[in-house]
Amino acid sequence: MRYYQSQDMSPYNTLRLQVQAAALVAINNDVELVASLEWARARSLSIVPLGEGSNVVLADNVDALVVLQRTCGIETIARTDDTVVLRVAAGENWHGLVRWTLQQGYFGLENLALIPGTVGAAPIQNVGAYGVELQSVLLRVHARQLTDGRVIELNAKECEFGYRDSIFKHGLKDQLLITAVDLALSLHPKVNIRYPAIANYCLEHGIVSPTPHGIFDAVVSIRQSKLPDPAVEPNAGSFFKNPLLQAQEAQALEAEYSSLPLYPQSDGRVKVSAAWMIDQCGWKGFRKEGLGVHPEHALVLVNYGSNSGPQLLSLASDITATVRRTFGIQLEIEPRVYGS
């Protein structure tokens, strides 16, 4: 285990933003984790946990020890006739886990294929895609407190999950380093094709009875057709959340903009497509000074060579201003911003 001081962070975030971290270390097990907490404490440095850096905007130098969570391993901790419970180490790659579970005949993660990043980061924003969120399979989160290294455990309810939200963004923000998650997966194939893009894919490909493997292939194919690969065009996925409106507010917008995609939620609120609004404002394909809005997806901001977090945030605020002026809606940034 080696501590790198004054480390360039551009290889460690998928937007490839160029800032320096005071120090950086990659940990591969619990002993290294505890040692890194002590190393930071001895130098009065705070800690920023990081997985694969696919949901962060590094807008300034990080005055902290960045701890890259690389601890791997998948363990079966319980099994019934219907369900298997896995304990998955936080450093495992999320998509690798999804693929592996399907190979084992464990179902429930297929709609979440190809989401970049680590397992340990997945609870932070309750990752979700194509009609499924992490909270539908998560049993427990295991972590260590950053202040004193104490081991703690949270059940699903204690995680206070919501749309792109959890207690790790509020009451426990910057308090923990997640070490593992327990997931309960089904041993019986069951599929969720409620999301329109999946239903359309099945229709177009003549798939009458989709299997979990079929859903996995559909999700991979849909995602590859519209989301840019960060390795080629540096990005952090959706840059803004889809706003959640009260039903009345959504109805008023729908009356004015009949093609605005709306997604009614179980709590009565309605999710509104941020991509559609940004697209309508004419931003899709916009490009200036090494930054831009992806030509295939208006929700994805791309670093075409600017490498500057502040400039990226300035573009984001120009976008939110036009959406606010046009639709009266305030967009919220989805990735975690450091240093704004």
The least distance separating ligand FAD from the CB of residue 326, rounded to whole angstroms, comes to: 26
Candidate list 164, 273, 306, 336, residue with the active-site label: 164
CB of 37 to ligand EPU, least distance (A): 30
Q: How far is the CB of 259 from ligand EPU (least distance, A)?
A: 8
Tokens standing for 207? 């798939």
275 is an interface residue for ligand EPU by CB under 6 A: yes
| Binding flag, residue 284, ligand EPU (CB under 6 A) | yes
First to last CA, the chain: 31
- The answer to whether residue 320 forms part of the interface with ligand EPU (CB under 6 A) is no
Beta strands 270-272 and 244-245, pairing class: antiparallel
283 belongs to the binding site for ligand EPU (CB under 6 A): no
Write down the least CB distance from residue 142 to ligand EPU, Å: 24
What is the C-alpha to C-alpha distance for residues 124 and 97, in angstroms, rounded to an integer?
Answer: 17
Q: Provide the strand spans (E) within 70-215.
A: 74-79, 83-89, 128-129, 132-133, 138-145, 151-155, 176-186
Q: Give the Å distances, CA to CA, from 212 to 64, 105, 197, 198, 273.
A: 42, 9, 16, 12, 27
**Distance from C-alpha of 137 to C-alpha of 339, rounded to nearest angstrom:** 33
237 near ligand FAD, rule: CB under 6 A:
yes
| H-only helix segments in the chain | 30-42, 94-104, 196-204, 212-226, 247-256, 274-280, 309-327
Say whether 79 is catalytic.
Answer: no
Give just the sign of the alpha carbon dihedral 164, 72, 175, 299: negative
Token pair 């999946």: residue: 198
Tell me: does residue 297 bind ligand EPU (CB under 6 A): yes
Is residue 15 within 8 A of residue 57, CB to CB? The reply is yes
Q: Rounded distance, CA 193 to CA 111, Å?
A: 9
Choosing from 136, 238, 273, 306, which is the catalytic residue? 238
Choose between 96 and 328: whose C-beta lies nearer to ligand FAD.
Answer: 96
Three-state DSSP state, 264: strand
Which residue stretch of 38-46, 173-181, 196-204, 255-263 sits at the interface with ligand FAD (rule: CB under 6 A)?
173-181
Q: Determine the Cα–Cα distance for residues 202 and 59; give it in Å rounded to an integer.
A: 41
Considering only 241, 308, 318, 322, the residue that binds ligand EPU (CB under 6 A) is: 241
**Stretch binding ligand FAD (CB under 6 A), from 117-125, 190-198, 253-261, 322-330:** 117-125
CA–CA separation, 33 vs 122, rounded Å?
Answer: 19
| Binding partner of residue 275 among ligand FAD, ligand EPU, none, CB cut-off 5 to 8 Å per kind | ligand EPU
Selected from 48, 113, 129, 156, the binder of ligand EPU by CB under 6 A is: 129
The β-bridge partners of 132 are 129
Residues in contact with ligand FAD, shown as a per-residue x/- string from 41 to 60 under the rule CB under 6 A: -------xxxxxxxxx----
334 classed as catalytic: yes
Contact set with ligand EPU (CB under 6 A): 129-130, 197, 226, 237-238, 241-242, 261, 273, 275-276, 279, 284, 297-299, 334
Residues marked as catalytic = 164, 238, 334
Contact set with ligand FAD (CB under 6 A): 14, 48-56, 69, 90, 115-118, 120-122, 124-125, 127-129, 176-178, 227, 230, 235-237, 336
